[in-house]
Amino acid sequence: MRCFLQHSAITTIILVIHPDDHQICENAIADFKKDLIIVEGGATRQLSALYGLHALKDIKPDYVHIHDGARPFVESKLLEQIHSTVNHQEGVLPVLPISDTLKRVNNAHYVVETVPRTNFYSAQTPQCFPFELILAAHEKAIQSCKQNFTDDSAIAEWFGIPMRIIPGNPNNIKITWPEDLETAHSYLQKRAPMFPDIRTGNGYDVHSFIDGDYITLCGVKIPFTKKLNGHSDSDVALHALTDALLATQGAGDIGTHFPPSDPQWKNASSEIFLRHAVNIIKKAGGRIANVDITLIAEKPKISPYRHRMVTHLMNILTISADRISIKATTNEKLGFIGREEGIASLATATVIYPGEI
């Protein structure tokens, strides 16, 4: 999935699933579900592909890749080769030459003949097509009661769309049988980076109190006898977290991206700053592994609002609740915080980026 999300030419992803698999799907794509459109599939692969194409009708892309989820190891190099080969008149099909000797057998399970393997190939996905042509081919197939095609290139052939082949990838295996899972596991172990690019960033922010009737922490409004003083909404928690996330990209701090001297950020929601940092990470192919926020204040009490804070951050960061830690402590009556003159926040973020160190 991540391979498709990171390709610059792919703007929309339709995920076609079984009607019973919504929760499984939501859990699996929690890190990037905002980039996906989920569609329920049909009784056959052919119908599922058609429903996915129908979901693209309003978008009207020039081209569409159709990929089997049973092939989880597609690589960006293959995607790029497909994209650079496709044109408005023909589709592209990745294939592998067949190395085994082919035998034709009869119903009694006896060999009838040996079939020359010259010019025989096994087909892979993703297969890429001009969108309007493959949509028309699928719709014509259903209208003609042709519902036994096993892949989209077969429908394209039947409809008369030329299919150009390119070399596939032997690692792009299809998981069909239980033993295929063992092969997949072995492949994952081999390709796992020895030193994954895991980065940690820290952030700190502090704001003083002024007269008011609420404060905003982690995007949640909390009734209080004061408010925090600052240029934006002064959400110290989100400011610290934003700086922590930016640090994993060496991208400066909030002030670099949203200068306090700029009047457009006056009273702005700090959610804007946080979403900006999240987008920077996503564009670099990063995945947020976890975040940890510590609020330092004598008052107000944070615990009654912690669940709402976590829920709010789940939606922005697109990670699960167990990857978000929000806690509070006092300053034991010491310093300006102990005198109840303001609130401080510390944040730590861990982000996993593609590749190795």
- Please tell me the distance from the alpha carbon of residue 265 to that of residue 331, in angstroms, as a whole number: 30
332 in a known ligand binding site: yes
329 is in an annotated binding site: yes
* Tokens describing residue 86: 């496709």
150 exposed, middle or buried (CB, 10 Å; 0-12, 13-18, 19+)? exposed
C-alpha distances (whole Å) from 138 to each of 151, 154, 157, 243, 278 are: 11, 10, 11, 49, 38
Q: Across the strands, what pairs with 103?
A: 114
Encoding tokens for residue 322? 């167990």
Task: Tell me: is residue 253 an annotated ligand-binding position.
Answer: yes
Does the annotation place 152 within a ligand binding site?
A: no
Among residues 70, 42, 69, 71, which one has the least CA distance to residue 55? 42
Query: Was 254 annotated as part of a binding site?
Result: yes
Return d(Cα 354, Cα 139) in angstroms, integer. Answer: 39
* Angle subtended at Cα 89 by Cα 84 and Cα 90, rounded to the nearest 5 degrees: 60
- Report the distance separating Cα 103 and Cα 142, nearest Å: 32
Q: State yes or no: 239 annotated in a binding site.
A: yes
**176 annotated among ligand-binding-site residues:** no
Burial pattern 9-35, b for ≥16 Cβ within 10 A else e, equals ebeebbbbbeeeeeeeeeeebebeeeb
Provide the token pair at 283: 């564009």
Residue 207 in marked binding region: yes
Q: Cα–Cα distance between 64 and 304 in angstroms, integer?
A: 48
Is 118 one of the annotated binding-site residues? no
Give 143: exposed, middle or buried? Use CB within 10 Å, 0-12, 13-18, 19+.
exposed
Q: 138 a known binding residue?
A: no
State yes or no: 331 annotated in a binding site: yes
Tokens representing 106 are: 């009869």
Quote the tokens at residue 241.
């977290």
21 is in an annotated binding site: no
- Residue 242 marked in a binding site: no
Using alpha carbons, list the distances in angstroms from residue 225 to 38, 208, 299, 308, 355.
45, 13, 10, 21, 49
Binding residues for a divalent metal cation: 205, 207, 239
Binding residues: 205-207, 231-232, 239, 253-255, 329-332, 336, 339
